Amino acid sequence: MACVYIPVQNSEEEVRVALDQLPRDASDILDILKAEQAPLDLWLIIAREYFKQGKVEQFRQILEEGSSPEIDEYYADVRYERIAILNALGVYYTYLGKIETKQREKEEHFILATQYYNKASRIDMHEPSTWVGKGQLLLAKGEVEQASSAFKIVLEADRDNVPALLGQACVEFNRGRYSDSLEFYKRALQVHPSCPGAIRLGIGLCRYKLGQLGKARQAFQRALQLDPENVEALVALAVMDLQANEAAGIRKGMEKMQRAFEIYPYCAMALNYLANHFFFTGQHFLVEQLTETALAVTNHGPTKSHSYYNLARSYHSKGDYEKAGLYYMASVKEINKPHEFIFPYYGLGQVQLKLGDFRSALTNFEKVLEIYPDNCETLKALGHIYVQLGQIEKAQELLRKAAKIDPRDAQAFIDLGELLISSDTGAALDAFKTARTLLKKAGEEVPIEVLNNIGVIHFEKGEFESAHQSFKDALGDGIWLTLLDSKTKTNVIDASASMLQFKDMQLFHRFENDGNHVELPWNKVTVLFNLARLLEQIHDTVAASVLYRLILFKHQDYVDAYLRLAAIAKARNNLQLSIELVNEALKVNGKYPNALSMLGDLELKNDDWVKAKETFRAASDATDGKDSYATLSLGNWNYFAALRNEKRAPKLEATHLEKAKELYTRVIVQHTSNLYAANGAGVVLAEKGQFDVSKDLFTQVQEAASGSVFVQMPDVWINLAHVYFAQGNFALAMKMYQNCLRKFYYNTDAQILLYLARTHYEAEQWQDCKKSLLRAIHLAPSNYTLRFDAGVAMQKFSASTLQKTRRTADEVRSTVAELENAVRVFSHLSAASNLHLHGFDEKKINTHVEYCKHLLDAAKIHREAAEREEQQNRQRQEAARQAALAEEARRKAEEQKKYLLEKRKLEDEQKRLRQQEEHFQRVKEQWRSSTPASKRRERSENDDDEVGHSEKRRRKGGKRRKKDKSSRSHYETEYAEADMMDYREEPEDEDASMNYREPIGQMNDQDDDVEENANDRLAAAGLEDSDVDDEMAPSITAARRRRALSESDDDEPFERQLRDNTDELQDSDGELRENDHKSNGGAALDDD
């Protein structure tokens, strides 16, 4: 047993003090020490022994007594021991300060420690141990640099001073210079090979930090050998085991942690690691307990941060976001720089995102991203936040990056796709497809939403096959397959009930009765609807109708299915059924604007103007005027109302037009890119005669409308053509009409053919005009107006041929044939009008018949004349030819006879010959003049004549020019009248017919050379009859212009245009609906 011997003063005796039997009360020993004036080293030994036994109080008592002023005085020359005592106290208080968690007391301890060291320094300022103590104190206080200088002072004096070496090693470690630190530790070990395990621990930590894990492990193990209860070494080894990241390692690590915990339950590091472990095993109660203890025992920022993080995570996983947020926040607060420990930022970001605090979440995730710029999860999270904040481009960029970094992350591609769907469908499609491939490869089920979205995008791009496949994939197996197949089975419906075929649900009832289960999962309804929509688009209407009905059979409230069925019925002209279906839809939702708008359309189609207007109003009100379709419909309504009035009350017309314009403008303000509104505005402008502006508008709309399968705007083509027509650019107008017909109507629209015919008429291309009309009749056989128009065209053609100054017999013959046709057409109409098949006035037709017959008579005479002339020409030519031949023969004979004999007469002879040849030429020319080859030239001469005449007339006075125009307008009036179903008898029209009759009657009386005069006479006739309608003249320009448009704008055509407009809008509504579905799909994903 170790003991110390306190020498008794002034004797040889000693007091033996057994160190393991030190008295409980240190005063006893102190008394002895003082009484015997024992050497100070004994004081120190005894104090140290007390400390070793954990009797800190006694330790302190002895040392404090040993450093008291009396001692100083008494032992003034015993310097080293005094210093040792002071230093021991310094170390003691340093330690106290180090472990103290409360800041104030910590400071106090450090102050005390500093005081002791200062005192020691005063005794001997070169004492190395004091400096070492000071260094350690500074280290404890975190003043690394000052600590380093303290240690350096010591090492300069003695480079093998072990404590200083250790201190310096610690300094270097804290500075992060691990290899330097390692060097100091190594030196310390060399100097003092039997040093305690702590040095080995230091070496181990340095090696660990330097990444020399094997050597680090050895060092820790050695430290543990030296001191099996060295918690730090144990924890260090455990951490290394855990980081090995394999089941066995983790188990071993956890065992070591546990041992460390058992040895010393207050090691924060061990506590944190244990908590971490229990977090993963889901024992949240333990996590909380451990971390709370850890927090209580440590003051070390990073460790605390870890503890808070563990706690926050625990709450986070339990769904207590408020608390989790608080602890994450606490954790973040303990961190100086985010790169030290980034996880809590991520957790905080997640919680804030969950709680809807996007801005804060954004900053936190961005911090994470700074440190891990390639972290996909963070990129995606940020992407989502940017979407929420509406910064789509930024979100796209991030998601694209995420998808690029991890090209196997299906979710990233899905997110990206959903983001892109509204801006770049092509890229969105690619993203969705990649996601689909990835999921398929991984053997996971592809979400219905993704397949649906792929289908919809293909659909929009017009890739119907792919869309079909995708929808089918999304739907998978189900009743619909059987239904689509069962089309082959016979479903006999009574023909009289077949009108209701689109409402028929018997199919499904029968199906159920057959023992089949009709089932339609809710999440497939949208896909089914889209598939049906697609089938409609590829014209498989029957199948589409079955699917819509299936949806309704299971989900009676699916309004859009009703509306699509109604649209199908409407397309098939089954208005009654269509209205019924829309009403079904309105039963579900009486304010559904789409249904109301559709009802309005149907009512318009039924010619129920007042009702339609009310319905459109209701549709508009149902959406607070925000539904552009309803507003547009009202605009259209006003526009038609402006033009439908046969009496053309100018005031009313202006009001309606103004109102229409206002409504169109309102839509444009709300939706700047609404093509239909722009088109409407263009029409109103054109109506007011501002052709250039409206042309620009139409052209822009036309350009914008190309490119999507859902936007089909034939109207704008027609309108553009109308404008070209009105501006006299007939060639372009024709091209536009033809393209429109072909592009949008499969050449089936008789109305556009009528526009085309009218353009040909204006361009005086009579045959093309007639052909167009015949085609139109073929398409719309019951439209007798077209027949009337064809009659007029033929009449006009004949009249114009007869008015020509020169024409061939062939021309006249065809004119006669044409007139006969015209007569036949008009007679037919006249006869048919007896049956009240159409609204023509019999009198008017008879006028035409008579006129044509008249013309025919005239033409027949002309034909005879022309034929006679032709005959004469032929005879003359024949005679001339024979004369020439005879001459030739005679000449040749004479030549032969007289060539040698009468050389002198040769010159005369040749002269004569020349004359004869000239004659022959003249005759030939004459002959040629009556053949078609010269026709054109002569006609242009004729035109010149006409110009001359009109100039002459102009010279005569302005009034005449007006009249000239008015006579021309008769044709137009007549023609335009023909286009109107209800013909009104107007005197000037008959005059117009008379107009022809008179000059031609006169022509009848004239001889062949009458042509030149005919023009004059025609002019005269025009002059005469223009007196009758002189008042008409001023309005003609306006009237003509209006008619140019009115061809399309009058009642019937315009109703058609409205229909078109609305059909198209219906389609676009369909598209909108699909978009809704898409976003629904997106929402579903979000929830996931």
Partner 1 sequence: MKFAGLKSVENAHEESVWAVTWVPATETRPALLLTGSLDETVKLWRPDDMQLERTNTGHCLGVVSVAAHPSGIIAASASLDSFVRVFDVDTNASIATLEASPSEVWQMQFDPKGTTLAVAGGGSASVKLWDTATWNLIATLSIPRPEGLKPTDKSSSKKFVLSVAWSPDGRRIACGSMDGTISVFDVTRAKFLHHLEGHFMPVRSLVYSPVDPRVLFSASDDTHVHMYDAEGKSLVTAMSGHASWVLSVDASPDGAAITTGSSDRTVKLWDLNMRAAMQSMTNHTDQVWGVSFRPLGGRVVSVSDDKSISLYEYS
Question: Which 282-301 positions form the footprint of partner 1 (CB under 8 A)?
Answer: none
Q: Which of 579, 633, 563 is nearest to 625 (CA)?
A: 633
Sign of CA dihedral 57, 58, 64, 68: positive
Please give the torsion angle defined by the CA atoms of residues 233, 235, 236 and 240, in that order, rounded to the nearest 10 degrees: 140
Please list every residue from 368 through 407 that binds partner 1, using CB under 8 A: none
Looking at beta carbons only, is 188 or 777 nearer to partner 1? 777
**Phi-psi sector, 176: left (phi>0), alpha (psi -120 to 50), beta:** left
Count of C-beta atoms within a 10 Å radius of residue 954: 12
Q: Give the separation between CA 396 and CA 484, rounded to whole angstroms.
A: 40
Query: Residues 846, 784: contact at Cβ < 8 Å?
Result: no
Please choose, out of 123-131, 646-654, 835-843, 1021-1029, the segment that lies near partner 1 by the rule CB under 8 A.
835-843
> Is 157 near partner 1 (CB under 8 A)?
no
Pick the closer one to partner 1 by CB: 748 or 882: 748
Q: How near is the Cβ of 807 to partner 1 at its closest, in Å?
A: 21
Q: Cβ closer to partner 1: 747 or 1006?
A: 747
Of 125 and 497, CB closest to partner 1: 497
- From candidates 122, 318, 778, 914, binder to partner 1 by CB under 8 A: 778
Q: How buried is residue 821: exposed, middle or buried, by Cβ count under 10 Å (0-12/13-18/19+)?
A: middle
**How far is the C-alpha of 942 from the C-alpha of 964, rounded, in Å?**
18
Of the listed pieces 231-239, 374-382, 485-493, 629-637, which binds partner 1 according to CB under 8 A?
A: 485-493
Q: Which stretch binds partner 1 (CB under 8 A): 394-402, 541-549, 719-727, 800-808?
A: 541-549
List of residues 6+ apart from 837 with CB closer than 8 A: 784
Q: How far apart are CA 641 and CA 652, in angstroms?
A: 9
Of the two residues 723 and 777, which places its CB atom closer to partner 1 in the complex? 777
Closest CA to 158 of 137, 198, 196, 131: 131
Judged by CB under 8 A, the residue of 3, 56, 296, 493 near partner 1 is 493
The one-letter code for the residue type at 427 is A
Tokens for 970, please give them: 């008769």
Taking the complex as a whole, how short is the minimal distance between the CB of residue 573 and partner 1, in angstroms? 4
- Specify the residue, 81 or 810, whose C-beta has the smaller distance to partner 1: 810
For residue 542, state whether it binds partner 1 (rule: CB under 8 A). Answer: yes
Asked if residue 381 lies in contact with residue 353, where contact means CB atoms within 8 angstroms, the answer is yes
At its nearest, how many Å lie between partner 1 and the CB of residue 860? 17
Based on CB atoms, which residue is closest to partner 1, 484 or 657? 484
Please report whether residue 499 would count as binding partner 1 according to CB under 8 A.
Answer: yes
Written as six digits, the tokens of 832 are 């048919």
Nearest alpha-carbon partner for 566 in 554, 555, 580 = 580
Q: Measured from the CB atom, is 869 or 1063 closer to partner 1?
A: 1063
| x-or-dash string of contact with partner 1, 724-763, rule CB under 8 A | ---------------------xxxx---------------
Which position among 194, 672, 834, 896 is part of the footprint of partner 1 (CB under 8 A)? Answer: 834
Question: CB of residue 606 vs partner 1: minimum separation in angstroms?
Answer: 12
Q: Which of 644, 804, 828, 1041 binds partner 1 (CB under 8 A)?
A: 828
Nearest to 45 by CA among 22, 74, 78: 22
Which among 197-205, 677-685, 771-779, 949-957 is the span making contact with partner 1, rule CB under 8 A?
Answer: 771-779
- Contact status: 608 vs partner 1 (CB under 8 A): no
With both helix axes pointing from N to C terminus, report the angle between 650-670 and 675-687 in degrees, rounded to the nearest 10: 150
Q: Are 171 and 139 in contact (CB under 8 A)?
A: yes
For partner 1 (CB under 8 A), the number of binding residues is: 50
Place of tokens 């926050």: 312
Contacts 24+ apart (CB under 8 A), 293-296: 293/265, 293/266, 294/268, 295/268, 296/101
Between CA 238 and CA 253 the distance in angstroms is 4
Task: State whether residue 53 is helix, strand or coil.
Answer: coil
The single residue among 252, 771, 891, 949 that binds partner 1, judged by CB under 8 A, is: 771
Strands 3-7 and 14-18 turn out to be antiparallel
Q: Give the residue, chosen from 495, 610, 900, 901, that forms a contact with partner 1 under the rule CB under 8 A.
A: 495
Sites for partner 1 among residues 500-529 (CB under 8 A): 501
| Main-chain phi, psi angles of 4, to 5 degrees | -115, 155
What does the DSSP 8-state code read for residue 876? H
Site string for partner 1, 787-826 (x = CB under 8 A): ---x--------------------------x--xx--xx-
Out of 98, 775, 939, 959, which residue is the one contacting partner 1 (CB under 8 A)? 775
Q: Which CB, 493 or 731, lies closer to partner 1?
A: 493
CB of 540 to partner 1, least distance (A): 5
CB of 209 or CB of 1056, closer to partner 1: 1056
Q: Which stretch binds partner 1 (CB under 8 A): 377-385, 601-609, 768-776, 1053-1061?
A: 768-776
Please tell me whether residue 465 binds partner 1 under the rule CB under 8 A.
no
Region binding partner 1 by CB under 8 A among candidate stretches 31-39, 234-242, 271-279, 495-503? 495-503
Residue 489 amino acid letter? K
Type of residue at 175? R
Q: Tell me whether residue 333 or residue 572 sits nearer to partner 1 (CB atom).
A: 572
**Are the CB atoms for 209 and 178 separated by under 8 Å?**
yes
Q: Which of residues 545-604 bind partner 1 (CB under 8 A)?
A: 571-575
Smallest CA-to-CA distance from 549 within 591, 596, 500 is with 500
- Chosen residue from 498, 926, 940, 1079 binding partner 1 by CB under 8 A: 498
- Name the segment binding partner 1 (CB under 8 A); options: 555-563, 775-783, 880-888, 919-927: 775-783
The 8 Å CB, 24+ separation contacts for 923-932 are 923/876, 923/877, 923/880, 924/877, 924/880, 926/873, 926/876, 926/877, 927/873, 927/874, 927/876, 927/877, 929/806, 930/806, 930/808, 930/869, 930/870, 930/873, 931/808, 932/808, 932/810, 932/811
Which residue among 539, 647, 904, 936 contacts partner 1 (CB under 8 A)? 539
CA distance 1059 to 1051: 12
Q: For partner 1, which is the closer residue by CB, 651 or 836?
A: 836
CB of 776 to partner 1, least distance (A): 11
Under the binding rule (CB under 8 A), the answer on residue 541 touching partner 1 is: yes
Q: Which is nearer to partner 1, 104 or 836 (CB)?
A: 836
Of positions 784, 788, 840, 996, contacts partner 1 by CB under 8 A: 784
Residue 1067 CB, shortest distance to partner 1, in Å, is 15
Task: Verify binding: residue 782, partner 1, rule CB under 8 A.
Answer: yes
Q: How far is the CB of 993 from partner 1 (least distance, A)?
A: 22
Cβ(203)–Cβ(189) below 8 Å: yes
Name which of 771 and 919 has its Cβ closer to partner 1.
771
CA distance linking residue 741 with residue 758, whole number of Å: 15
Q: Does 487 bind partner 1 (CB under 8 A)?
A: yes
Paired with 16 in beta bridges are 5
User: Which residues of this chain interact with partner 1, rule CB under 8 A?
Assistant: 487-488, 490-496, 498-499, 501, 539-543, 571-575, 745-748, 771, 774-775, 777-778, 781-782, 784, 790, 817, 820-821, 824-825, 827-828, 831-832, 834-839
